Every structure is written in structure tokens, then in C-alpha cells.
Amino acid sequence: MTGVETVTVRPEDGAGRLDRWFKRHYPGLSHGRLEKLLRTGQIRVDGKRAHARDPIAPGQAIRVPPLPETPAAPAKPSAPRARPQDVALLRETVLYRDDWAIAVNKPAGLAVQGGTNTDRHVDALLDGLRFESKERPRLVHRLDKDTSGVLLIARHAAAAAFFTRAFRDKTTRKIYWAITVGLPEIRQGRIDLALARAVAGDRTHPSAAGALRGARHADPWRRQIWRQRRAIGRRCRRARAASACPLAGDPASARRHAVGHRAVAAAYAADVGVLRVRRRRGGPVRRAGTAGMKRVYREAKARPVEGGWGVALDGRPMRTPAKHELIVPSAALAEAIAAEWDAQQDDVRPATMPLTRLAATAIDRTRAQRDQVIAETTKYAGTDLVCYRADHPPELVARQQAEWQPLIDWAMLRYDARLAVTSGIVPQPQSPAALKAFAAAVAAQDDLRLTALHAMTAACGSLVIALALLERHIDAAVAFAVSQLDETFQIEAWGEDAEAAARRQALKEDIAAAARFVQLIDAA
């Protein structure tokens, strides 16, 4: 390439990192050379300087300077040629195909990826599933060799990024069927035991699971790795618990708030029961911020200070974990925060003080990372919960239409943002005008309201619901109900276990606390 050119990221490229985009389109450009071009400003995204790790999205313009000719790629060892009969067999297993995905019924005995002495696998046969497409299909998840079932394959980079994120964030539900000896009395629950493989025709001894659990640490090297992992986990829990305010974008917090597009899973709720299998944990699991400290103050009072209202503990100004003085705009909010501190007993437990945590987050985190918080919150508009509907059963379809469509209509009138609605899990791109309108609505909030909006959006899984709650178009109870519509439908069919009930209660409390936080701000 001899001149500067501007390349627009194509929709089929999907969202991803800038360095990976260059690796795909300019394979002859080394990473070191790419970093130098970025440092010197020769490569720009939308006219601005960028970093290799920065995310890019379809529609963005990338300035590419003159680059050396791509050298010939070194010869790679020839892979075993796929047998025509294997390709034909895989094509016969295709259950579904569209522009984004291919679903195949993987038979037992066929590995998904290669390995030692494994030349016959799905990855080697993917070229046979191009179906006139220019791109080679991509694997986004795996099934064991001896497991048969539906294997989802992405047809291009954008689909791969979407499905990979859905599996990683656990917004996609995987259901496993098993043949059991006898009928379990409990239709839904959790198996907290190690898995044992028994030879056909043999009966597994009742103590087999316990023996396997003990043998897990028999090897000294594995025992050392296990201890290191537990030590790292303890340090992470202590670090999270030491702060009274949650980190914006913290993966541990995001998993607790993750609410995905459950339309397809909900569609089969009346026909399928789910057994959740989890690994045995070495210690109790606690929400971040539950660890406390001893109460050493006698009273907490709100008082006027320069710039607003603060809280004093025995006459001393309260400070955030980052040592900033806690100042809020209204007396009502300061008094409510003081009441949280007065309600503490011998131990101060930050988890019971949501208003304090939101105020401290706004001061310590949002103020310093405002652009990041705006971007994270706005991102929900691209795949908003209320835009993804089920196509079965009719009762769920009707309920989603009755509860979600009025919110979409309200957003259209309020922000002049028209959202596209679809059925299933295939992403429906939203118009740039709508995304820009939502971005402007989010950016218009001050630091305190932006913090509350971020918390509402993460808990609801929907920016539309969060904005309606922020502007008091709906209340906290309605926001929780419409955001949990799919879960409620499943609970009505199958009942609710203790773990799901605790998670729903935590989300309900988060939504209510954020809504009350905004109401107290507006009381100024």
C-alpha cells in the first residue's frame, strides 16, 4: 500500500479490539510496528488517537498509513485433508442455518477440536459449512467428544463476537439431557458432588463421589495449584470487601447483575427442567462489600458544608474510601446516609448502606471515569432486553408485548429514538440515530444520577427500563417486574429455588436503592 487510506469497519467484522482488526486485515503488520504507528498518531480511529486494545465497532473509520507489502506467509505443516464423506456427514447434521449462525447436531464420538492422535474433528470440517460464504465459520463453544447435542457455529466475525460474549457472560442457557437410572423425585435443584464415570453394566458405589473428591488433591502439583487459586480468591474477596463502593465494570459485580436475552430458553420453560451442576466450593460465598468494621463512633449527623450537604461522625467529616469528603446536593440524601450509619450495630456493614455506596461510587469512580461509565451504560441500548422477544409460547409472547412495547413507545416519544424489535437471539442492529439519542440522554446526567442510572441499567439489563425509572415514568416495583418478566414466567411454570430467589431479591434491592437515591437527590 503506497498511500494513506481510510477504511470503514464493516458490519461483518463485528465489534472487537483494534489490534485484532489489523491482524485480520493486515496480517503482515507486526504488533510492534502497529504499536509504533499508534504511538506516533499515524493510525487513528474516527480522527482520534487510539490504543491497540481499544474497542472498535462497525461504521467507525480507521486511518491506515502506507504499509509495507505483506510478506509471504511461512509454509505451515499441511493439515490432514478432510474426507469428503466426513464433510457430507456434517452437512447432513445441520439443524438450522441463517446469515449469522449454523446449528448442527453433533454426534457422539466426533471431537469438536483436534488434539493428540485426533485428526477427525469438527474444526477441520468447517470449510465444508461455508455455504457460498467468503468467511470460514468459527467455533464459539465446545461439546465433549462423547456428548451428542446442538453445536452452535458462527458464520462470521461479528456473529462469533456476539455468541462468544453471550456464552462468557452466561446470558445463553445451555441445557443438558441425561439418561438416569430411576426418576429423580426433585424436578429442579443442584447436584453438589463430583462426577464419576462408571463402566457400562456396573453399579457405582455410593462412596465413589467422595473418593473422587478426595483424590482430586492427591497429586502434590495439583494440590499446589489448588492452594494458589484459593489464596488468589481470598485476596480478591478481601480487596472487594474493603471498599464500600462497587467498581464500575467489575466482572464479579457484573455477573451478579447479568440479565441476558432469555427469550429462547423461556420459550421451552414448560417442557424442560434444569439441573444446575456446580463445582464444590472451599468456603462461603458472600456479596462484595459484606465484610464490616467495628463501630467506633457514637452518632452520625447531616450538616451543611461548602458545596452542599455532608455527614459527620462525632463531628468529623465522613470521607469516601478514596479519602474524598462525602458531599451530596440535598439535605434529604445526607440525612438518609446519616441514618444508614446510625442504624449500624457493633459492626459496620457496607452492604446494608446502599445510599452510602452509591454516593461514594459517584465521587470516587464516576467522577474520575465518567466517559467509561457513560460508554458502559449506553452499550445496553444496542442489545436492550425489551427488544428481544420470544416466539413461543403464546402466553409469554403476549406478556412481553403488553409489558415491554409501551416502554419502547415511551422511549420513542421521549428521546426520538426508534428501536428495532426482533425474536430470538440473533442480534438486531439498532440505528445510529437511536444509539446517539440514548448516548446523549445518558451523558446529560450529572455524576450522582449517572451512577444511579448505571446501577439501574445493570440490575434491569435494559437502558430503556432504567431511563423510565430515572424519569419516574415507572416506579421501582414495576421496573423490577418488567425486567424479570422472563424469569417470573419460568418460576410460574417450575417454581423457584433458594439460589434464584436470593439473586432476584438482591436485584430488587439494588433497583429500589438506586430509585430512592435519585428521589433524595431531587429533594434538593
Active-site annotation, residues? 144
Q: Are the CB atoms for 260 and 166 separated by under 8 Å?
A: yes
Measured CA to CA, the distance from residue 164 to residue 171 in angstroms comes to 10
Question: Which three cell numbers, joined as nine digits, stand for 396?
Answer: 409469554
Residue 128, SS3?
helix
Q: Are the CB atoms for 117 and 78 separated by under 8 Å?
A: no
Measured CA to CA, the distance from residue 140 to residue 129 in angstroms comes to 15
Q: Where are the alpha helices (DSSP H) in 93-189?
A: 122-125, 157-168
Residue with cell 462468557: 168
Q: How would you classify the pairing of strands 61-64 and 327-328?
A: unpaired
Closest CA to 129 of 167, 177, 157, 97: 97
For residue 215, count CB atoms less than 10 angstroms from its CB and return exposed for 0-12, middle for 13-18, buried for 19 or more: exposed
What are the backbone dihedrals phi and psi of residue 5, each rounded to the nearest 5 degrees, phi first? -135, 155
Report DSSP letters for 332-344, one per residue. Answer: HHHHHHHHHHHT-
Closest CA to 153 of 171, 169, 133, 170: 133
